[in-house]
Chains A and B, each alone.
Chain A
């Protein structure tokens, strides 16, 4: 029995929350919100939101082949069941044995010869008509149309009664159909054409599709085709019909029935169902055997009108939905009224309720808002700035940093990392490096030692290259008589390198103590301890660890470390050495690990410290500068530089400086992060002109300016430009606008060669001029008067009265602002469309209340001409 393994599913035509699953029995379900209070143990979860409750089961009708739901709302839950022997039974489900249902429920319609009933279809207009499609039996008819409400001749009922198989069914069985069609043929599928053609029946016969006209049963239109299964009329285009055969779906136009309008791409496996979506035009869902995907064909733009012209382009969009993941789907049913909703059922009767979403189109805005369109709806999704926990996108970070004036602190350069949020170790390292570099530059400038200048901003890599006059020394452990194993190296360049690393401060003394104290203050106990140790002060190191263990947020385990440290011995074969050498690898904290690596390593072989990548680059480099000889040092720095360049790690700027090498490193950083903001500000810090002219640097700067513009951070962009022109004077743009005198044609700017930079606004242009000079109301060239302000009718150049024009209450609220703008009010502005203008203040106040130009008979809508001009910058908070 086929139906046992293949449950089918049907929605009630009247109750939006009921459906029937049929395999060997009929089960009526009600669907409702999941987790509702009434949800009982029996409810089946169909989706996140919905669950189904079993209402009734009907197993009265074995050998079911096909089922059709009675189209009228009364009696509810009446179904016609076609059986394997051709018999059609009307059966009810559940509670509704109402008065009206009684006379229909239980009725049976029996063909003359027993054969399988393939399909059933209720007439949508006349609900008494039920069409049944049967297999072939010799020359018998295969399409029978029964009148379920009709009164049957009693004798016919009598005649059939003995054939009812034993069960004392009191109900009537009819054998006389209203119409008999399709003689000598088989019927595989049936459907009625919609309401305007109540008498037309479309049938998939053995080898053709046929349209029977019940008004004249001899009339039959047909077309020979193999695609005779699953005929379905598009509810939105009654002329459009789909039918299938094996893996192929054909779409027909009934007005041009000779051949399919088009066929859909062939599926590998045979199709089992095709159904038009009742709630959306042109959406056909199909299912193949053993598939977990419902394929959808969106034919909205396929020619639904007259076809035949070769210009028609069937645009069919194929889609696929997997409602249940990998679960094979046995059948599906569209919900009759809820848009794009369907329920699918699997062979094991598990069900899934879901909605087919329309194809979603989406877009990001420049400020990281996401908008998408789904069907006819729009949704906008904004990033919530209040969220602290999640890692922010770099676009958000850059916006926040631009707001906090990141990069603009040119005095205390290191503070920029705090402006950046203070939580990025790379950025922190970068700005400290730049800070130390700048400090040294300033100092050398004071000392007027021009020859050192070239080394600054060029990084430790270049500094150690020029190493000369290195001296070796065997230092003693501080506070101990013993000589340390380690050989220390000294030299002017090495000292400079240590300063850039931040280990030692300015001045001639090479004291690391201030650095230790600052580390202690920041609670970086391990780091401080290891720096002290590398400076051969083991007591200080232990002292730091003890302090760290006692500190409020300190780690008590540091005491243990201090104890381990105090046991240090330079005896080569001691247990201490052996154990520390192996146990240190299990230490989680990189600085502790490197401390013991230092103590246990042979002189000159410090790989355990140098290649401990979790230790900050500046500390490793400083260490290398103290303990590696010239050759080793230069090789180590080169290797580390390449590593940093590869990884785009900003800590490497310490090594490369702001040179071409530094640009390479920064390129790698930008490639990884997209952070052009840091790249721009860093390269503008103190790079040589050749480096700033590098195409890549210029590209980052332009990209950063574009970002600021897109975010409407125009003030920030302008500030950035000012900042940039200080460090790179060539970037200053020329004056953009001049006003020439009507009479002599000369520019009216005073000393126009030094005309102030007027910004880039498109809407209004001002002509500068200090207030003192602005009393001049005539052209400096020919002494003819300047044009008059359209509002006060004074010649330009006359100071504008700040009270003019306005008045009203908003004037007072604006007072402080008005003051700020007082100078601007004197400026000369005009509409570059109608070329009328006047004092900026007067013009602005006019357009507060008017949309048209103040000059008589001029209808120009000066203020609305430029949409960008009406946008407000988003950073003037």
Chain B
């Protein structure tokens, strides 16, 4: 059962991304108002904004946390063609009375000539590594060789994907059996270019990223992509937000000889495909055990998906974008158990609601 409550966000324009830190006690949001806000969860479970600052000179598309062992570090990317790395510092300006902390810019990554559409830190076992992708179709991978000095980032790899990139996802697997891997999605609207998802794998011998797989069946623009937390599984799972939600399973084929170079070959299976959002799907996100997937789409709803033991996926909950429940017939079949609060639709965007709206959703 899920209970939705609203948080007074106080951004002056659309929020484009929201991201939790490793422990789920901090949260960062970014917006078209060119700012990033950092939120801390109090012991009572309330979120308090502890920092808010202008980060870019354009809409901020994405914000993401580094693993806490590298300190309190954020990266953001923007329409202004840059990505930036931020670190929380303790200093004179720290205002504990008002509960505000201070974030300073450690570096600006200016290599892109177009809007930087996504930014993601690599899994921590790879060190402090950051990937960005941009509208001109280039994925850039940066590394901070000295984790104590976040102002030094070197551009290690540039992967040209030929198509405008909209999203990237690192494979989170820390198993030594799996080479570092990154998936890239393209939002190019020309459906004649097939293969809107490309997967690149690091080759230990050539020290380069090489294309390991292209998902040719994905022909529509891809808006988001997410590798599932691996959690010791022998295969990889990739969720894709395009005109529908798709879940792919990538099973590494066992190599004959470990010495053979070249990228890993995969058996690619389409595990599930849902068009319940009716139209474009914008975001997908996995929970920590990759047993629950959340997606959002142009139907204005957040949908939760869950697989049973037999890998049959089904919808276990639907929430409208404003937190109110949906009780259409399709949903009630999925086990929705909701009381309808009235007037939810009429709550204007202008009025920032600090009140609570409770919704009850029961995973069926």
Interface residue ranges, A against B (CB under 8 Å): 33-35, 47-50, 265, 279-280, 293, 300-301, 313, 315, 318-322, 325, 337-341, 353-384, 386-387, 389-391, 393-395, 398, 667, 670-674, 676, 679, 695-696, 699-700, 702-703, 706-707, 709-712, 851, 861, 864-865, 867-868, 871-872
B300: contacting residue among A355, A386, A390, A670, CB under 8 A: A355
CB pair B24 A710 closer than 8 Å: yes
- Inter-chain contacts of B319 with A (CB < 8 A): 379, 381
CB pair A377 B6 closer than 8 Å: yes
> Could you mark each residue 329-364 of chain B with 1 if its beta carbon is under 8 Å from any beta carbon of chain A, else 0?
000000100001011111011101100000111111
CB pair B79 A710 closer than 8 Å: no
CB pair B292 A364 closer than 8 Å: yes
CB pair A391 B2 closer than 8 Å: no
Q: A341-B346, A369-B24 are known contacts; what are 11 more A-B pairs with Cβ within 8 Å? A: A325-B278, A359-B298, A362-B285, A362-B302, A369-B20, A371-B20, A380-B4, A670-B233, A699-B177, A703-B230, A703-B231
User: Interface size for chain B: under 10, 10 to 19, 20 to 34, or 35 or more residues?
Assistant: 35 or more
Bound-complex Cα distance A394 to B23 (A): 18
CB pair A380 B321 closer than 8 Å: no
User: Smallest CB–CB gap between A849 and chain B, Å?
Assistant: 13
Q: Is B90 close to A, CB under 8 A?
A: yes
If A364-B288, A372-B18 touch, whether A861 touches B349 (CB-CB below 8 Å) is no
User: Smallest CB–CB gap between A309 and chain B, Å?
Assistant: 13
User: Smallest CB–CB gap between B149 and chain A, Å?
Assistant: 16
Q: Is B127 close to A, CB under 8 A?
A: no
CB pair A368 B17 closer than 8 Å: no
Q: Is B174 close to A, CB under 8 A?
A: yes
- Inter-chain contacts of A293 with B (CB < 8 A): 279
CB pair A338 B20 closer than 8 Å: no
- Inter-chain contacts of B25 with A (CB < 8 A): 712, 871
If A387-B362, A394-B289 touch, whether A362 touches B6 (CB-CB below 8 Å) is no
Bound-complex Cα distance A40 to B191 (A): 50
Q: Which chain B residues in 253-291 approach chain A with CB under 8 Å?
A: 278-280, 282-283, 285-291
Q: Is B155 close to A, CB under 8 A?
A: no
CB pair A49 B342 closer than 8 Å: yes
B287: contacting residue among A33, A393, A700, A703, CB under 8 A: A393
If A49-B344, A360-B300, A373-B15 touch, whether A366 touches B22 (CB-CB below 8 Å) is yes
A382: contacting residue among B2, B233, B234, CB under 8 A: B2
User: Smallest CB–CB gap between A315 and chain B, Å?
Assistant: 7
A364: contacting residue among B20, B58, B343, CB under 8 A: B20
> Could you mark each residue 58-75 of chain B with 1 if its beta carbon is under 8 Å from any beta carbon of chain A, else 0?
110000000010001000
Cross-chain pairs A/B with CB under 8 angstroms, 27 sampled: A322-B279, A338-B348, A341-B345, A361-B15, A362-B285, A364-B292, A366-B23, A368-B287, A370-B2, A370-B285, A373-B18, A374-B15, A374-B322, A375-B14, A376-B15, A376-B352, A378-B7, A379-B4, A379-B323, A387-B1, A393-B306, A398-B289, A671-B235, A707-B289, A711-B23, A851-B96, A872-B43
Q: Is B16 close to A, CB under 8 A?
A: yes
Bound-complex Cα distance A384 to B362 (A): 9
User: Smallest CB–CB gap between B318 and chain A, Å?
Assistant: 12
User: Smallest CB–CB gap between A869 and chain B, Å?
Assistant: 10
Which residue from chain A places its CB closest to the CB of B362 in the assembled complex? A390
Q: Is B13 close to A, CB under 8 A?
A: yes
If A300-B14, A301-B79, A383-B1 touch, whether A393 touches B59 (CB-CB below 8 Å) is no
Bound-complex Cα distance A367 to B12 (A): 29
Q: Is B242 close to A, CB under 8 A?
A: no
CB pair A864 B29 closer than 8 Å: no
A363: contacting residue among B8, B14, B285, B320, CB under 8 A: B285
CB pair A710 B189 closer than 8 Å: no
CB pair B19 A363 closer than 8 Å: yes
CB pair A871 B23 closer than 8 Å: yes
User: Smallest CB–CB gap between B233 and chain A, Å?
Assistant: 5
CB pair B68 A358 closer than 8 Å: no
If A367-B24, A378-B7 touch, whether A355 touches B345 (CB-CB below 8 Å) is yes
Q: Is B3 close to A, CB under 8 A?
A: yes
Interface residue ranges, B against A (CB under 8 Å): 1-20, 22-25, 27, 29, 31-32, 43, 45, 47, 58-59, 68, 72, 79, 88, 90-91, 94, 96, 114-115, 135, 174-177, 189, 230-235, 278-280, 282-283, 285-292, 294-302, 304, 306, 309, 311, 319-323, 327, 335, 340, 342-346, 348-350, 352-353, 359-364
CB pair A395 B232 closer than 8 Å: no
A338: contacting residue among B31, B68, B88, B346, CB under 8 A: B346
- Inter-chain contacts of A365 with B (CB < 8 A): 20, 24
Which residue from chain B places its CB closest to the CB of A375 in the assembled complex? B349
Bound-complex Cα distance A673 to B311 (A): 10
Which residue from chain B places its CB closest to the CB of A673 in the assembled complex? B309
Which residue from chain A places its CB closest to the CB of B327 in the assembled complex? A48
CB pair B13 A376 closer than 8 Å: yes
Bound-complex Cα distance A48 to B347 (A): 15
Which residue from chain B places its CB closest to the CB of A279 in the assembled complex? B349
- Inter-chain contacts of B11 with A (CB < 8 A): 376
Bound-complex Cα distance A107 to B23 (A): 70
CB pair B279 A378 closer than 8 Å: no
CB pair B349 A340 closer than 8 Å: yes
CB pair B353 A377 closer than 8 Å: yes
CB pair A322 B299 closer than 8 Å: yes
- Inter-chain contacts of B287 with A (CB < 8 A): 364, 368, 393, 395
CB pair A358 B14 closer than 8 Å: yes
A703: contacting residue among B1, B174, B359, CB under 8 A: B174
Which residue from chain A places its CB closest to the CB of B46 in the assembled complex? A380
If A315-B115, A372-B18, A671-B235 touch, whether A864 touches B94 (CB-CB below 8 Å) is yes
A361: contacting residue among B16, B79, B88, B234, CB under 8 A: B16
If A367-B24, A674-B231, A695-B176 touch, whether A378 touches B6 (CB-CB below 8 Å) is yes
CB pair A383 B23 closer than 8 Å: no
Bound-complex Cα distance A293 to B14 (A): 23
- Inter-chain contacts of A321 with B (CB < 8 A): 279, 298-300
7 nearest A-B pairs in the assembled complex, by CB-CB distance: A357-B300, A365-B24, A360-B296, A357-B321, A373-B15, A374-B321, A339-B349
Which residue from chain B places its CB closest to the CB of A293 in the assembled complex? B279
CB pair A393 B282 closer than 8 Å: no
CB pair B285 A364 closer than 8 Å: yes
CB pair A376 B283 closer than 8 Å: no
CB pair B345 A49 closer than 8 Å: yes
B189: contacting residue among A265, A367, A398, A702, CB under 8 A: A265
- Inter-chain contacts of A47 with B (CB < 8 A): 345
User: Smallest CB–CB gap between A355 and chain B, Å?
Assistant: 5
If A671-B235, A699-B175 touch, whether A375 touches B15 (CB-CB below 8 Å) is yes
CB pair A360 B302 closer than 8 Å: yes
CB pair A864 B90 closer than 8 Å: yes
Bound-complex Cα distance A707 to B231 (A): 9
CB pair B288 A50 closer than 8 Å: no
CB pair B20 A320 closer than 8 Å: no
* Most B C-beta atoms less than 10 A away, residue of A50, A320, A398, A851: A320
Which residue from chain B places its CB closest to the CB of A365 in the assembled complex? B24
Bound-complex Cα distance A47 to B22 (A): 40
- Inter-chain contacts of B311 with A (CB < 8 A): 672
Which residue from chain A places its CB closest to the CB of B18 in the assembled complex? A373
Bound-complex Cα distance A383 to B45 (A): 13
CB pair B280 A319 closer than 8 Å: yes
User: Smallest CB–CB gap between B5 and chain A, Å?
Assistant: 6
